[in-house]
Amino acid sequence: MLLYYHKVLYKVQILMFLAKSSNHKVFKYVLKTSYRVIIMIVMKFGGSSVGDAERITGVCNIVKSKLAEKPVVVVSAVKGITDKLIDTAKKAALGNDVSKELAEIKEKHHKILNELGLDEKLVDPVLEGFYKTIDKIFVMKTTNAEIMDEVQSFGERMSVKIVAACLSKMGVPSEGFNAYDVGMITTPDYSNAEPLPDTEERIKHAISKLKVVPIVTGFIGKDSAGNITTLGRGGSDYTAGIIGGALDAVTEIWTDVNGVMTSDPRVVKGAKTIDQISFDEASELAYFGAKVLHPKTIWPAVRKNLPVKVLNSFEPDHKGTTIVRESTKSKEVIKAIACKKNIHLINITSTRMLLAHGFLARVFSVFEDYKKSVDMIATSEVSVSLTVDKDSDLDKIKNDLDGIAEVKVGSGKSIVCVVGEGMKNTPGIAGRIFTAIGKNHISIEMISQGASEINISFIIDGKDADKAVQVLHKEFFG
């Protein structure tokens, strides 16, 4: 935020100097460029915001109302389409007839186009590409990470075309772009790709040349070999963050709720919008399950100290949440409670561990071998407990660990995470959390507090997850 204000201040100073020197040509030029540098926005609309013709019209009206801020628009696939593409590919890999699924995907997009008064054939070339990929899967009789990223790319490749055509029909010249055609080149880490270091420069260069409102695919990129990659499920938020960072812009994440809230409003009826939240708090919440924001979204903004906003496309006048480096002090010690489900808890016990140096290194090298990231960790002298969120390679990891210690894996667990910078200076928060949980007969299997002291996380059985979040929300927000 500070940098943002400095930029404004710096431009204002130049403008004043030029105004004094009455060099009007230069003055006009600087005015034009300052305008662009200061207030450009990247607006990302998620699946539910582009779920049907009415929603897409709503999105285009929001974009139209913001033309002065030179919007670059990022969109997700139409709601439910990414799941459907994955499901179709998996069925095809098993040799099943998928003509019904293919027809449903086609019909969904054609219906939207028809209702918008646009040519339904607009998405047909992209659909043809999808059919070819499905044919390949039929022949292969299996899928792999690379082809699954290609499969998932088709949703966004269709939605950008629809949104751009709708906006153009409203009188705003617009064009749909695949992110890789405007510079999004990534590592070949399928399903978890990262932009290459020069990606920001490439994006800046490509977008600055455009004379239309660009509608860019979220979620996807290409590696240097030309294969399609994805940034991970929910990754359109990250695409917007990357483009926002590249353009020194404000990133706006437009979704289906009024910003980042004190809890998931689907779980807690009385959840409230948080006006302002810090980068650190937002990161913790996103990482521990607040789906409203992909955990990596704010990385580029943190590096450049640019604000990120979370807004509601169903209620565009609501001010939502602003995420900044340092949030203003609030009277609430706790900002929010997040919950991440389907967690696997791995307990590793070894009596030999006592004083044995190098033991933890050996344990972690097993996770390293499978590129498995660990969410939470707690140690005692004879045991280490840690959690992972995906079951891929879990059996192999267990086997490898069996060689060095006794291992037990518990699945179907949940992490509950209480977040707030105010916790640093307020004693007794842990006491309040665990008393409230205990009173409700929910048993805790592991506890962890990060070194930053802005979160307290604990593991419980998945069946108690919603109740735990509701109990804690009541304890801290009434």
Distance of CA 178 to the CA centre of its chain: 18
Q: Which of 101, 150, 256, 280 binds ligand ADP (CB under 6 A)?
A: 256
Q: Is 276 in the site for ligand ADP (CB under 6 A)?
A: no
Gyration radius from the chain CA atoms:
24
Which residues, at least 6 apart from 87, have a Cβ–Cβ distance to it below 8 Å?
101
Binding mask 204-243 for ligand ASP (x = CB under 6 A): --------------xx-------------xxxxx------
Contacted by 136, from Mg ion, ligand ADP, ligand ASP, none: CB < 5 to 8 Å by type: none
Token look-up 């990120």 returns 308
Q: Is 82 in the site for ligand ASP (CB under 6 A)?
A: yes
- What 94-103 contacts at long range (C-beta under 8 Å, 24+ apart), as own/partner pairs, is 95/138, 95/141, 98/134, 102/130, 102/131, 102/134
Q: Is 336 in the site for ligand ADP (CB under 6 A)?
A: yes
Q: Which of 18, 53, 59, 77 binds ligand ASP (CB under 6 A)?
A: 77
Contacted by 260, from ligand ASP, Mg ion, ligand ADP, none: CB < 5 to 8 Å by type: ligand ADP
Stretch that binds ligand ASP, among 22-30, 75-83, 359-367, 422-430 (CB under 6 A): 75-83
Strand ranges (E), 100-255: 174-177, 185-186, 213-217, 220-223, 228-230, 250-255
CB 158 within 8 A of CB 50: no
Contacted by 261, from ligand ASP, ligand ADP, Mg ion, none: CB < 5 to 8 Å by type: ligand ADP
Query: Given the complex with Mg ion, which of 93 and 274 has the nearer CB atom?
Result: 274
Which residues, at least 6 apart from 238, have a Cβ–Cβ distance to it below 8 Å?
231, 232, 294, 296, 297, 299
CA distance 241 to 200: 11
Task: Select the residue whose beta carbon is closest to ligand ADP and give its number.
Answer: 46
HSE-up (13 A, CA, CB side) for residue 293: 32
* DSSP secondary structure, 197-209, as one string: TTHHHHHHHHHHT
Binding mask 237-276 for ligand ASP (x = CB under 6 A): x---------------------------------------
Q: Which of 42, 46, 62, 214 binds ligand ASP (CB under 6 A)?
A: 46
Structure tokens at 30: 């600087």
Distance of CA 127 to the CA centre of its chain: 26
Q: Which of 200, 264, 284, 400 binds ligand ADP (CB under 6 A)?
A: 264
Query: Given the complex with ligand ASP, which of 155 and 195 has the nearer CB atom?
Result: 155
Stretch that binds Mg ion, among 41-49, 295-303, 305-313, 441-449 (CB under 5 A): 41-49
Residue 184 burial (CB count, 10 A): 29
CB 255 within 8 A of CB 46: yes
∠ at Cα 324 (322, 327), nearest 5°?
Answer: 90
Query: Given the complex with ligand ADP, which of 49 and 229 has the nearer CB atom?
Result: 49
Stretch that binds ligand ADP, among 285-293, 323-331, 359-367, 432-440 (CB under 6 A): 285-293
Q: Which residues bind Mg ion (CB under 5 A)?
A: 46, 234
Q: Which residues bind ligand ADP (CB under 6 A)?
A: 46-49, 76, 234, 255-257, 260-261, 263-266, 285, 290-292, 336
Q: Which residues bind ligand ASP (CB under 6 A)?
A: 46-47, 76-77, 82, 155, 218-219, 233-237
